[in-house]
Amino acid sequence: MSATIKDVAKKANVSYTTVSRALNNKYGVKKETRDRIVKAAAEMGYTCNAIARGLVKKKTNTIGLILPDITNPFFPEIAMGIEDGAHAKGYSVFLCNTNYDPEREAQYLKHLAEKRVDGIILVPASNERSLELNKISESGIPIVYACSYYLEGDRSYVAIDDERGGFLATRHLVEQGYSTIAYIGAKDETVKKDERLVGYKQALKKFGIPARDRLIYYCDHKMKTGHDIINKMISKKEVPRAIFAANDLLAIGVIQGAKELGLSVPGDIAVVGFDDIPFASLPEIQLTTISQPKQKMGELSINILLDIIFGNEQNTRRTILEPELVIRKSSC
């Protein structure tokens, strides 16, 4: 189909080794020859075959980015930072959207391994450590975990202190005078506890407020879920005075549902979210939330991964960033 290095060689009257050298700007090619080769290549519309190169160099200049849900505005911010950093160093990135499905995550890991990516940035779908993940780790493909961390093993990660975030959010609500504070967040029955929930409980404990199970709602991460939960609370006549939602989408869903039910926020119910997605700051929403440095997390993830790939790093670099409470109207 498209011209190969041999075609160019023929046209320029040199061996194809020389073409390779010339096109890769290596030493030992006379300027004159090089020019002739470059010209010939351009005329033929030669495009280097990165697949063939990858096969011999055992390096594809490609990484994989596995994340749960690209339609949650939190993730595009991170993905953008990663893609940007990767592109700047000549790397391409495979986008893998797991939809929070561990099985699908495992499939992606397998595919990425087959495609011989140079590294993977993984925002896990769950806290379960899949078999596939173990295989990848053994295979030697560097993985950087983003937005999540495990303390065991020799993993590199970039995350924020979720527990601290949960604590800050809850403390803020307590300080606003609330004592009936509900928590809604993703269910996670596996090894690692949900750190945000841990922070929530910690704050309650610190202020002498008993943590009640009926105030804790496990759910998924969608806006509609937040909306539905507040409706459920109403129908059960169990509407708390304040809610800490483990992500902004849930929180915005709660606000939406509340307003539809004629409840005022924060008048009837105070809401705090988590993430600080761009829409949280809209004047119409004004969501108090725990801010994550999204861009920085993206940049750090890719930089660390590339460091590992280039061998500048041991395969373990752990970074935990500080969450920040951003106070807006939804809680005051």
Partner DNA sequence: GTGAAAGCGCTAACAT
Partner DNA sequence: ATGTTAGCGCTTTCAC
Residue 146 phi, psi dihedral angles, 5° rounding: -120, 145
Backbone angles phi, psi at 227, to 5 degrees: -60, -45
- Does the protein bind a copy of itself through residue 24 (CB under 8 A)? no
Figure out which of the listed residues 25, 45, 58, 152 binds DNA, where binding follows CB under 7 A: 58
| Candidate segments 49-57, 77-85, 133-141, 264-272, binder of DNA by CB under 7 A | 49-57
Min dist. Cβ of residue 87 to DNA (A): 20
How would you write 3-43 as a 3-class SS string? CCHHHHHHHHCCCHHHHHHHHCCCCCCCHHHHHHHHHHHHH
- What is the per-residue binding string for a copy of itself in 26-55, x denoting contact by CB under 8 A? -------------------x-xxxxxx-xx
Ordered DSSP codes for 69-89: -TTSTHHHHHHHHHHHHHHHT
Q: Length of the chain in residues, anyone?
A: 332
- Judged by CB under 8 A, the chain residues 259 through 278 that form the site for a copy of itself are 259-260, 278
> Residue 6 or 212: which CB sits closer to DNA?
6
Residues forming beta bridges with residue 290, ordered by sequence position: 274, 325
Among residues 83, 118, 163, 195, which is the contact residue for a copy of itself, using CB under 8 A?
83
Tokens of 44: 């033929």
- What is the CB neighbour count within 10 angstroms for residue 316? 12
Angle between helix 131-139 and helix 102-114 axes, rounded to 10 deg: 20
For residue 196, the minimal CB distance to a copy of itself (Å) is: 23
Q: Residues interacting with a copy of itself, by CB under 8 A?
A: 1-2, 45, 47-52, 54-55, 58, 60, 62, 65, 70-71, 73, 75-77, 79-80, 83-84, 87, 92-97, 104, 107-108, 110-116, 135, 138-140, 223, 252, 255-256, 259-260, 278-279, 282-285
